[in-house]
Amino acid sequence: MGKRLMFEKPLGMRDTLPFFYNQKAKARKQLSDAILSYGYSFMDTPLMEYHETVGKVSATLDQQLFKLLDQQGHTLVLRPDMTAPIARVAASQLKNSEFPLRLAYEGPVFRAQQTEGGKPAQFEQVGTELIGDHSSYGDAEVIALLVESLKNAGLNDFVITVGHIGFVKAFFRDVLGEDEETIETLLQFLYRKNYVGYREAVKALPISEDKQTALLQLLTLRGGEEVFEAGRSLARNQTCMQAVNELKQLYRLLKEYGVEQSIYFDLNLISHMDYYTGVLFEGYAPNLGALLCNGGRYDTLLPSFQLNASATGFAVHLERLVEALNVQEDEDQRIGIIVDNDSYARGIKQAKNKRAEGYAVLLQHRDQIADVEAFRSQLSETIDLTNEGGAKG
């Protein structure tokens, strides 16, 4: 390992310079305005948690956790998401409050550092958790709120793909019985987006041709509401049917919210091997190589903190949202007042007045300006109170 150069930051860490900071702050506010308008309350938790509590139950894979040791030798994690910490709080300090809980968050989360670019170890998430509502109304509220938040932030072109892990698992059980090993293998292929492997594995199974066809048809179950009919025709058992009905009901509710234009269904969608338990979703925007947002129903997380409650929520990757919004740099709205020794007091007074009117005003002594023209050009307006400036401004 060579010596660090003075400008270097730890791997995967980024600075946020003023322009990007402003864009992020704006997008964050627009998202949280929408979230607040749905009656959610914002909260925060520590950046660090124990690995054996929050780290173990988080949706983030163990090898992707950013781990550290504390002075007592406990393994800590920099929080990989906000869902697990909020579940911890909901199951402890908030357990006697009135459920359903509507909680929201905004803040940095962390991943293990990676040498490859474009995979930051720290990024910001804005999101919600609806805890203690296990109905389709809960699923619909969370997805509708996600759509409205993104729209409020100014994003118009995006797609939310909705799936149902309960459907996939029930369908596999229906076709394959209790052959857990095969089910696990097929789920893995879907999770890894490997349709070639899935097809090969299905064709190699010692089952009837009808069953193979059914398993292969699963791959075609994506699109609009027509997938419900197709899903229904594949479903033979009660749990499977119920999952399709849940999606149908969800779609009806999303139509009531008027957000169905952004919604697609994909019954193969598996965002995580064993975290989600029902409806789940992912959001995408053009010109972003990676996921913009995701979420879903998770029913086993709260029980791992000894609270028996179902929950659902979403998280938006804030930096990626800003990237997707692709806004140009705003014109600088600041006003500059150039002063010298004689006009300093006048300058302070004038700045105070302007600030009271809501302007951002910077007061600058003439002696410290190297190039007056360059100074002027970065501001929307300059007032020169020096003799040189004379009547100008």
Partner 1 sequence: MSNRLTIAMPKGRIYEEAAELMKQAGYDLGADLDESRKLILDFPEQNIRIMMAKPMDVVTYVEYGAADIGIAGKDVLLEQDRDVYEVLDLKISPCYVAVAGVPDQPLSRIAPKIATKYPKVASDYFREQGEQIEIIPLNGSIELAPLIGLADRIVDIVSSGRTLKENGLVEYEKIADITSRLIVNPVSYRMKSNEIDQMVSKLSNVMEEASS
CA dist., res. 104 & res. 43, Å (int): 6
- Residues in 196-225 at the binding interface with partner 1, rule: CB under 8 A: 196-197, 199-200, 222
Contact between 287 and partner 1 by CB under 8 A: the answer reads: yes
Counting contacts by CB under 8 A, is residue 261 touching partner 1?
no
Strand-pairing partners, residue 108, are 124
Phi and psi, residue 364, nearest 5°: -135, 130
Total residues interacting with partner 1, rule: CB under 8 A: 22
Residue 195 touches partner 1, criterion: CB under 8 A: yes
Nearer to partner 1, 219 or 362 (CB): 219
The annotation status of 129 as a binding-site residue, yes or no, is yes
Q: Does 194 bind partner 1 (CB under 8 A)?
A: yes
Q: Is 83 annotated as a binding residue?
A: yes
Does an H or E element contain 78, and which?
strand 75-78
- Quick one: CA torsion of 359, 360, 362, 363, rounded to 10 degrees? 40
Q: Based on the shown chain and the rule CB under 8 A, indicate whether residue 157 belongs to the binding site for partner 1.
A: yes
Widest Cα–Cα separation across the chain: 95
CA gap 181, 198 in Å, rounded? 14
Site string for partner 1, 221-250 (x = CB under 8 A): -x----------------------------
Binding segment for partner 1 (CB under 8 A), chosen from 33-41, 280-288, 301-309, 381-389, is: 280-288
Rounded CA separation 23/329 (Å): 9
Q: Give dist(CA 275, CA 150) in Å, integer.
A: 25
Instruction: Name the burial class of residue 110, with classes exposed (0-12), middle (13-18) and buried (19+) by CB atoms within 10 angstroms of its CB.
Output: buried
82 annotated among ligand-binding-site residues: yes
Residue 276 marked in a binding site: yes
Structure tokens at 304: 């791992």
Phi first, then psi, for residue 299 (nearest 5°) are -110, -5
| CB contact at 8 A, 13 and 120 | yes
- Answer yes or no whether residue 390 interacts with partner 1 by CB under 8 A: no
**Which one of residues 23, 161, 262, 386 is an interface residue with partner 1 (CB under 8 A)?**
161
Q: How far apart are the first and last CA of the chain?
A: 56
Measured from the CB atom, the residue of 194 and 300 that comes closer to partner 1 is 194
User: Residue 212 Cβ, how far from partner 1 at the closest point, in Å?
Assistant: 16
> Among 118, 206, 358, 390, which residue sits at the site for partner 1 (rule: CB under 8 A)?
118
Q: Report the alpha-carbon distance of residue 18 to residue 345 in Å, rounded.
A: 30
Is 275 one of the annotated binding-site residues?
yes
Q: Does 288 bind partner 1 (CB under 8 A)?
A: yes
Taking the least distance from each CB to partner 1, the nearer of 177 and 224 is 224
For the record, the structure tokens of 256 come out as 């009531």
217: DSSP letter:
H
Closest approach, Cβ 155 to partner 1, in A, equals 12
Pairing of strands 263-266, 222-223: antiparallel
**30 to 59, contacts with partner 1 by CB under 8 A?**
none
Least distance in angstroms from the C-beta of 182 to partner 1: 19
Applying CB under 8 A, which part among 201-209, 277-285, 309-317, 376-384 lies near partner 1?
A: 277-285
Annotated binding-site positions: 81-83, 111, 125, 129, 275-276
Binding site for partner 1 (CB under 8 A): 118, 157, 159, 161, 193-197, 199-200, 222, 264, 282, 284-291
